[in-house]
Chains A and B, each alone.
Chain A
Amino acid sequence: NAGVTQTPKFRVLKTGQSMTLLCAQDMNHEYMYWYRQDPGMGLRLIHYSVGEGTTAKGEVPDGYNVSRLKKQNFLLGLESAAPSQTSVYFCASSERRGRDFVNTGELFFGEGSRLTVL
């Protein structure tokens, strides 16, 4: 059981380049999230998804796009990378129970993807 897997784990981009981070989960979770974490700071939510085919903006969505074409995958795209997007990106998933997943609030995180934009 792999849990939440992120690829790639490391990437260096030049300003203006584009790339996609892939998150895959094998737990059949409804909800998926993308967070970023800058040095010495907590995690900030970029985008999230409550189910296949749906996405929503989080706290810091600008400069990113996401897609959830399959339930198990959540893609984070940077169309034109900027140095301010240098960060560690974490994907997470959680299970829906009952009317709302709040009964657990237990997010499973991947190991992170370290992105550097020069």
Chain B
Amino acid sequence: DAKTTQPPSMDCAEGRAANLPCNHSTISGNEYVYWYRQIHSQGPQYIIHGLKNNETNEMASLIITEDRKSSTLILPHATLRDTAVYYCIVRARGGSSGSARQLTFGSGTQLTVLP
């Protein structure tokens, strides 16, 4: 699976949009981009994933560049509860039936939402 590069930390003002970048320049055509977050001392939480089209759900939006070498996770109106480590993960499609594709978590970006 392709590696990802994220800034180690970012700040965002409460109520503003938080834009978290991720570089994955070696991504292959069959690899998805996943985002998870981990609030202090809790288990990671799935946020969103995409292949090449932009995606939106109730938590966030995922913008993937046309060449797919980078993506941005957008939290439209950040709150203090969004303070967490955000992980960008690239993961390929699975192989034969029954195989599992593990998610590899890097160091992520520590997002701090400031009051």
Contact = CB atoms under 8 A, between A and B. Distances in A.
Given A107-B44, A111-B42, A102 B108 contact: no
B107 A100 contact: no
* Consensus secondary structure, chain B interface: loop
**Size band of the B side of the interface?**
20 to 34
Contacts, number: 74
A105 B45 CA distance: 12
Interface stretch (B16-24, B68-76, B87-95): B87-95
A100 B94 contact: yes
Contact of A112 (B32, B43, B92, B97): B43
Contacts of A92: 43-44
A23 B104 CA distance: 20
Interface of A: 4, 31, 33, 35, 40-45, 48, 50-51, 56, 58-59, 88, 90, 92, 99-102, 104-112
